[in-house]
Structure 1
Amino acid sequence: MRAATVTPGRPDDLRVSEWPEPVALDGELLVEGLLVGLCHTDLEIINGRIDSLPPGQDRMVLFHESLGRVLEAPAGSGFTPGDLVAGVVRRPDPLPCAPCAAGRSDFCLNGNYTERGVTGLDGFGSERWAVPAQYAVRLAAEVGDCGVLAEPTSIVAKAWDQIDLVGARTFSTPQRVLITGAGPIGLLAALLGVQRGLEVHVLDRIEHGIKPELVRALQATYHLSLHTVPTVDAVIECTGVGSLMFDSVLKLGRNAVAVLLGLSTSDATIPLPPGRLNDTLVFGNASVVGSVNSAPAHFRTAAEALAKADQDWLRRLITRRVPLSRWPQALEPHDDIKVAIDLTL
């Protein structure tokens, strides 16, 4: 079968490879790969900033954002052939540490987890793949190709989970949220905020085009400057831009929570008013939390959120599709939100 393969650190050697057919072990599903999504993590792998090949391999199958259709399912698995599914990315460490033993490998303490398409395991970028039933999440049929958004939606589902957990100490719920960045993560975070009935504000630098249109279609407010953003009860920071990260935290009101999702790729220094930041957090009982990866429960929350969403709105997030036969073209610069690779072409 065909697969999109890479050797981390060799961006000039991106291939469509002939790859061994998967063998579904006891308790595993055999899945027809339909789509995978491209994200910044894939670029980090290609450029060698994340370098963890599966043991004994000199190449790996790329992509962790998946959508597939079940071909074979074991009895009692809860799945049947024809189901749309997404694969959970992270697997617990073999020891395991306390979080992994509790089914929360997204909080792994020792770093010995593995991740499909990222760390130590082949990804989902192949015509067929196998997955243990407990690491597959069923998607509603009406979601269709937008099911490829399940993994990034699970990331923001975890962010909202963190807001709920930290916010519970204040005996209140947020009413107003700021999302920084109108990429796929930011837009999906805004979607879940709207589904929660909150007043949603989204900050981005793009003045015209699909990003502000998608935000306004959610009945959310689009901003080009933090100066126009009111004080908020929660922030979900999706850009990793250092100055914006700190400035957005200063928008926190009393008892508010900021969750940082964006990864910084720059070591540049920035001027920072430590006293103002300290006072915002201390006098305001405010909290800043980092969040990475997601648990199977967050994938299930994501599946529910995608099923509830306006499907026309979701489809607009996938701005470009590239066939597997030409998958390196997905890396070409375009004004995209989400690029999907069609594994059937």
Structure 2
Amino acid sequence: MRAITVTPGRADSLRLVDDFPEPIPDEGSVLVEAVAVGICGTDHEIIDGDYGEAPPGATDLVIGHESLGRVLDDPSGSLSPGDLVAGIVRHPDPVPCANCAVGEWDMCRNGQYTEHGIKCLQGFARDRWRVSPKFAVRLDPSLAELGVLLEPTSVLAKAWEHIERIGARAAWEPKRVLVAGAGPIGLLASLLAAQRGYELHVLNRSANGEKPGLVEALGGTFHTGSLPELGMEFDIVLECTGAPTVVLDAMCQAAPNGIVCLTGVSSGRMIDFDAGALNRALVLENNVVFGTVNANRRHWERAAEALAAADRDWLARMITRRVPVDRYAAAYHSEPDDIKVVLEFPH
């Protein structure tokens, strides 16, 4: 069986293994044949040796957490052979903490969760993989290979759920949304904003490639430059870059009672800013800033519904490169106009 592996903590250890062991039943009763795996910044950081943790007793980690496959067998009968599914990435900690105990492993309090392709669980970049039925999410079969977008969409489904829950604290009629960043997360955040009927604005560093057209196809307005230059306030801001200056600008451009959702992970770079002025603005305007990461099953199911309702041509334009597994190195080499790169497993 083919698998893409790394030795965690060792830079540039990425390789294709042709004789990787078949998944054992202890990994889950649902046996799945891989169709595709999406590639994101987390994969690149693991390849660089920044983090990643192999399963107990193993030295190598199969990477890949954005999965898509077809069910080969499910003894439980909850899924049927041929069903298109994705595997949920995070599993609850064994304690479990209060959140993991009720299925909200995305909000794990003690950090002992595990994650496919990232932390202590083998990933999905292999010919076949197994999961428990409760960690397999069925997709609309008409999505076909576009279903590989489910994992990043689940992150945004959670973000929007939390935005709406926070908004329910008081009378609130949001109209204008800003998404900072037009990478995969930003574009999927924009898709979910458009599905909710908001006035959409997307700010990105450059206007190269498909990104402006994808935003315009959603009925949104694409901007470049800095956020203050836009000259408007926003009821909802989704910050999807992690760039420190953009994060601060996003907090400052929220309208009264506005909500800022941070989805990007910042580098350790320090910048100077007036914390007192930011505090004053947040307090006097009743604004909320919160961070979000990962997703639980409820969010995965809502993400599946969002993708099923999306225009297939629009989703297909997000996938800018499809690379067969035997050319795996090319898939993990970034190109200037990449949005979403997908590693395919032909059988």
Q: TM-score range by the shorter chain?
A: over 0.9
Runs of 4+ in 1 over 3 A off after TM superposition: 23-27
Deviates more, 1:100-109 or 1:273-282: 273-282
1:171 Cα shift?
2.6
User: Aligned to 2:99, what secondary structure does the other structure show?
Assistant: helix
Per the alignment, residue 198 of structure 1 pairs with: 198
- Cα distance in 2 for partners of 1:33, 1:26 equals 15
User: Aligned to 1:164, what secondary structure does the other structure show?
Assistant: helix
Per the alignment, residue 258 of structure 2 pairs with: 256
Are residues 273 and 67 of structure 1, via their aligned partners in 2, closer, same or farther at CA, if it must alter by over 3 Å?
Answer: same
Per the alignment, residue 84 of structure 2 pairs with: 84
1:229 Cα shift?
5.2
Are residues 103 and 192 of structure 1, via their aligned partners in 2, closer, same or farther at CA, if it must alter by over 3 Å?
Answer: same
CA deviations 1:123-158 (Å, max 9, x no partner) are: 000111111000011100111111000000001111
The answer to whether the 8 A contact 1:252-1:280 is kept is no
User: Aligned to 1:276, what secondary structure does the other structure show?
Assistant: helix
Percent identity, aligned pairs only?
51
TM-score by length of 2: 0.96
User: Aligned to 1:215, what secondary structure does the other structure show?
Assistant: helix
Residue 124 of structure 1 pairs with residue 133 of structure 2: no
1:51 Cα shift?
3.1
Are residues 184 and 26 of structure 1, via their aligned partners in 2, closer, same or farther at CA, if it must alter by over 3 Å?
Answer: closer
RMSD (Å) for aligned C-alpha atoms: 1.4
- Cα distance in 2 for partners of 1:201, 1:34 equals 34
1:344 Cα shift?
2.0
1:28 Cα shift?
2.1
1:272 Cα shift?
1.1
Per the alignment, residue 330 of structure 2 pairs with: 329
1:309 Cα shift?
0.4
1:279 Cα shift?
2.2
The answer to whether the 8 A contact 1:8-1:47 is kept is no
- Cα distance in 2 for partners of 1:51, 1:341 equals 20
- Cα distance in 1 for partners of 2:238, 2:278 equals 17
Per the alignment, residue 282 of structure 1 pairs with: 283
TM-score by length of 1: 0.96
Task: Give 2:117's aligned amino acid.
Answer: G
Per the alignment, residue 179 of structure 2 pairs with: 179
For structure 2, the 5+ residue unaligned runs are none
The answer to whether the 8 A contact 2:38-2:340 is kept is yes
Deviates more, 1:79-88 or 1:221-230: 221-230
Per the alignment, residue 63 of structure 1 pairs with: 64
- Cα distance in 2 for partners of 1:12, 1:111 equals 27
- Cα distance in 2 for partners of 1:208, 1:52 equals 36
User: Aligned to 2:169, what secondary structure does the other structure show?
Assistant: helix
User: Aligned to 1:259, what secondary structure does the other structure show?
Assistant: strand
1:30 Cα shift?
0.7
Number of matched pairs: 343
Residue 246 of structure 1 pairs with residue 248 of structure 2: yes
